[in-house]
């Protein structure tokens, strides 16, 4: 099955919206907290559909990080709480599920 040009363009827009801009390579003088703060600011302007994709990403990553990297999980899950508080334009059911998954992952730590 081949994707239509319109679907391909839309997918590319979502990829661009969701790709981190404030990365360590480009902002080596900034610590993680500063980079993530700027990234959160940027993410608040992405489309509702891209926010919905972000919710799914948060769900997937939350489960995996809580199981496989407990030392880093607390930091990432706290960042996810901030992201989910700020991004509220996407699918409301998936948004709620993402919040539940993050809180459950935090409880398991």
Residue with tokens 């809580």: 66
Q: How many domains does the chain have?
A: 1
pLDDT at 30: 99
Tens digits of per-residue pLDDT, 64-90? 999 999 999 999 999 999 999 999 999
**Rounded to an integer, what distance in angstroms lies between the CA atom of residue 50 and that of residue 91?**
10
Q: Which of 63, 54, 68 is nearest to 107 (CA)?
A: 63
More confident site: 80 or 1: 80
Range 46-53 average pLDDT: 98
pTM equals: 0.93
């Amino acid at each position: 099955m081949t994707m239509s040009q319109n679907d391909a363009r839309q997918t590319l827009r979502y990829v661009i919206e969701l790709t981190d801009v404030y990365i360590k390579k480009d902002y080596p003088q900034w610590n993680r907290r500063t980079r993530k703060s700027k990234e959160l600011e940027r993410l608040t302007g992405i489309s509702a559909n891209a926010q919905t994709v972000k919710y799914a990403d948060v769900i997937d990553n939350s489960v995996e990080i809580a199981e496989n990297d407990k030392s880093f999980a607390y930091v990432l899950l706290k960042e996810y709480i901030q992201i989910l508080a700020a991004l509220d334009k996407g699918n409301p059911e998936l948004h709620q599920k993402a919040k539940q998954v993050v809180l459950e992952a935090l409880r398991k730590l």
